[in-house]
Chains A and B, each alone.
Chain A
Amino acid sequence: KKSAVVVILFFVLAALHQDTWNWNNKDLWLGFMPAGLGYHLIFSVVAALFWFLVSKFAWPHKTEEWAEQE
């Protein structure tokens, strides 16, 4: 179940990233950051947060045990 949730969330993130292609706001956030770059910057942080949650709740501990067996 955890694997399925991780896969679904991963593809939701990928779809969200592809959707940023449509976002063509030319505003400057904080007066200097192009909005388009800002969106992707936030996306990078969200991606890191996603992998952080995966590492907390869906880490493949059994793989480690399997690797240690002779």
Chain B
Amino acid sequence: MTTFFILVGYLLLLVGLGLLSSRFFKGTSADFFVVSRSVGSFLLLMSIFGTTMTGFALVGSTGKAFSSGIGVYGLMASWSGLIHSAVFFAVGIKLWAVGKRYGYVTQCEYFRDRFESPKLGYLLFPILVLLVIPYLLVGVIAAGKFIQPTTAGLFPEAFPMPTLPNGNPHPLNGGVPPAIGSGVICLIVLFYVFFGGLRGAVWANTFQTIVFMVTGLIAFIMISKNLGGLKEASEAVANSEFAQNRLAREGLIGKLEFLSYCFVPLSVGMFPHLFQHWLTAKSAKNFKLTVVAHPLFIMVVWVPCILIGIWAAAYLGPLGPGQTPNSVLGRMVGQLVHSPVLSGLVGAGVLAAIMSSLDSQFMCLGTMFTNDIVMKKFGAGRFTDTQKIWIARGFIMAVVAITYGLSIYLKDSAHVFDLGVWCFSGFAALFPLVFAAVYWKGVTKAGAYTSIIATVVVWCILFYNDIIAEKPEGMEDELLIGGMMPVTIMIAVSAVTLVGVSLFTKKPSQETIQKFFA
């Protein structure tokens, strides 16, 4: 029960934080959507880092290292450390500046003006929403699926599971079912976003980031201690026939796959929820800490998880039937650290990593529906500030309800967790659009339309081949094209069409050039 009470305590702290943040709410739409553009360096760093890191940072990274070894850090973490900071520096600050100068709250508002096309928002809006929804689903389903085994055995009468054919009790017997676990998580996130707006999310993200960074380190220390110490744990990997190849990248990750993974982190340039966080900064100087500390924060979270992953390969050996790499962190904690307190803390850490992304995504979708659809359709002048806030709250509630419903419907779908990399790839493929909008005076409306449509077509074709189409025998799980990630093809098509069409079509007016580049 201790584990359960720690999880409940963590969730109650979030509710308290939500109540506290709502006390600071100024009642204006600018405060609800972008915290009155008043966020300082530390909160900006914590909210952006917390939003960027999902549950994958703890659970997925450990599982991926278990399967593919230490090369996973280079593949996913150190590439991200370099590229994320570059995007924050080169694109984030520029977008913060145009947002502050012209009062933008969403990406579509900016792109409509930059490309002199009100209709561009209607093309881009559904694409951004459809890319965020699966990303949300992964988080909501992961939360529900994580809570059930963590609470297994606690409520056998309330949540009984049928006995296994061999007579043993079901391992999930008495655990809180995913429908309830996911529902509670959704309601708590909804609570602090509903009342506190983006300030609620920023404060919660700061708390959650501290929680998942600290609990990851505690798990690392406790696991290494119970394996006999750092040296003994790593030497066991070197001496294990099954695990020793995990000590290097060789034979586990291809050269072009390693290279093409550098395109995936470009997705942060087009995440609508990160765009909204950028706009909260008080000044451009507040980005300095985020740009510098981001690679180090990634290191603090990922290095312990990568080491736990390779140690698990030696300690646990090959996966048994029905076991997945994502269960590795939970199994290591369960088998090595017989402490309900630590299990509770690690559980809170995983939920913190998941929820710190969910809140910003719920918030950004509510903001987009309000500003890109309702205000655009009926005119912002028709509504008071209070009405705008209530419209946004209504949309946020609807998005949470739809996401929760979909998560219940899709909770046992085998492919939901494969959608994550496709969402990231889709956003990354739109990166040339935002980069050109910020830096190239000559990029045209026709170029933007062609690039977006070409990207969508290529994304759909590649997605179909990877997720929907029947795969030939012996084909790898992850779709690689010429050894490269599909995102490479998408970005190439996006960039070539954007540049090619822009060179031969009507340039933007001098007025627009003056507005954004003077």
Contact = CB atoms under 8 A, between A and B. Distances in A.
Interface of A: 10, 13-14, 17-18, 20-21, 24-26, 28, 30-37, 40-41, 43-45, 47-48, 51-52, 54-55, 59-61, 63-64, 66-70
Contact of A54 (B89, B231, B249, B250): B89
Mostly helix, strand, loop or mixed at chain B's interface? Answer: helix
Interface string B69-84: 0110110011101100
B292 A45 contact: no
Contacts of A68: 100-101
Given A10-B86, A51-B291, A54-B291, A34 B247 contact: yes
Q: Which of A14, A28, A36, A68 has the most CB of B within 10 A?
A: A36
Given A51-B85, A67-B284, A41 B230 contact: no
B248 A43 contact: no
A22 B303 CA distance: 20
A21 B78 contact: no
B234 A36 contact: no
A17 to B, nearest CB: 6
A47 B298 CA distance: 12
B119 interface: no
Contact of A37 (B73, B94, B101): B73
Contacts of B82: 10, 13-14, 17, 43, 47
A69 B238 CA distance: 61
Contact of A32 (B94, B230, B288): B230
B233 interface: yes
A43 B81 CA distance: 9
B93 A44 contact: no
Given A14-B262, A47-B295, 16 more contacts: A25-B248, A26-B248, A31-B231, A31-B234, A32-B307, A34-B234, A34-B237, A34-B247, A40-B74, A47-B78, A51-B292, A61-B284, A63-B284, A64-B284, A66-B97, A67-B96
A38 to B, nearest CB: 9
A40 B77 contact: yes
A36 B292 contact: no
Interface of B: 70-71, 73-74, 77-79, 81-82, 85-86, 89, 93-94, 96-98, 100-101, 230-231, 233-235, 237-238, 244, 247-250, 253, 255, 258-259, 262, 283-285, 288, 291-296, 298-299, 303, 306-307, 310
B85 A64 contact: no
B74 A60 contact: no
Mostly helix, strand, loop or mixed at chain A's interface? Answer: helix
B296 A45 contact: yes
B234 A32 contact: yes
Q: Which 6 residue pairs of A and B lie closest in terms of their CB atoms, listed nearest first?
A: A67-B97, A32-B230, A31-B231, A64-B284, A24-B250, A32-B234
A59 B288 contact: yes
B6 to A, nearest CB: 29
Given A31-B230, A51-B291, A21 B97 contact: no
A63 B97 contact: yes
Contact of B238 (A28, A30, A66): A28
A24 B248 CA distance: 5
B231 A48 contact: no
A17 B235 contact: no
7 contacts: A18-B258, A28-B235, A32-B307, A36-B74, A41-B73, A51-B294, A61-B284
Nearest to B300: A44
A34 B310 contact: yes
A50 to B, nearest CB: 8
Contact of A43 (B78, B234, B288, B294): B78
Q: Which of B78, B231, B303 has the most CB of A within 10 A?
A: B78
Contacts of B97: 63-64, 66-67
B515 to A, nearest CB: 11
Contacts of A21: 71, 74, 249, 253, 255, 258-259
Contact of A44 (B81, B96, B100, B259): B81
A63 B93 contact: yes
Contacts of B249: 21, 24, 36
A40 B235 contact: no
A14 B307 CA distance: 24
Contacts of B284: 59-61, 63-64, 67
B356 to A, nearest CB: 21
Q: Which of B233, B283, B295 has the most CB of A within 10 A?
A: B295
Nearest to A28: B234
Q: Which of A20, A30, A32, A68 has the most CB of B within 10 A?
A: A32
A58 to B, nearest CB: 9
